[in-house]
């Protein structure tokens, strides 16, 4: 484990948007839902679409390819066709910079 790695500034991820980043060899999507930042693996558990292409809703993100939704806090699949969760990452904000634990 590397520890916390800076991946973006808060201003790079405005509310309702997401951003693809990389840290420690992981592809990660940062999501801003209602001002709270979440970090999930940037790969849908259905067929691997980048979730960073998806649509942010309150507390969830929907995959662009087939519409599966995932809980931003837990990564759990909330709707078909996905049944497996996607990994989530801990984040912290330091001086308006987003850091991910990898
Ligand atoms: S690849 Fe995401 S729902 Fe199919």
1 or 48, which is more confident: 48
Give pLDDT tens digits for 72-96: 999 999 999 999 999 999 999 999 9
Give pLDDT tens digits for 7-65: 999 999 999 999 999 999 999 999 999 999 999 999 999 999 999 999 999 899 999 99
C-alpha of residue 68 to centroid of ligand 1, in Å:
6
Q: How many domains does the chain have?
A: 1
> Counting atoms of ligand 1 from 1, which one is nearest the CA of 47?
1
Residue 1 has pLDDT above 80, yes or no: no
CATH code, domain with 57: 2.102.10.10
Give pLDDT tens digits for 2-21: 899 999 999 999 999 999 99
C-alpha of residue 10 to centroid of ligand 1, in Å:
27
- Give residue 13's domain range: 4-101
In sequence order, the 6+-apart residues with CB closer than 8 A to the CB of 61 are: 18, 29, 31, 40, 51, 54, 55, 69, 70, 72
C-alpha of residue 64 to centroid of ligand 1, in Å:
7
Global confidence as pTM: 0.96
């Amino acid at each position: 484990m590397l520890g916390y790695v800076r991946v973006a500034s808060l201003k790079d991820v405005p509310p309702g948007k997401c951003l693809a980043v990389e840290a420690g060899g992981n592809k990660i999507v940062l999501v801003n839902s209602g001002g709270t930042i979440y970090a999930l693996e940037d790969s849908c558990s259905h067929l691997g679409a980048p979730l960073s292409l998806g649509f942010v809703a309150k507390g969830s993100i929907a995959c662009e390819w087939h519409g599966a939704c995932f809980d931003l806090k837990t990564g759990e699949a909330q709707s078909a066709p996905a049944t497996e969760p996607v990994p989530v990452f801990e984040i912290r904000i330091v001086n308006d910079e987003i850091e991910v634990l990898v």
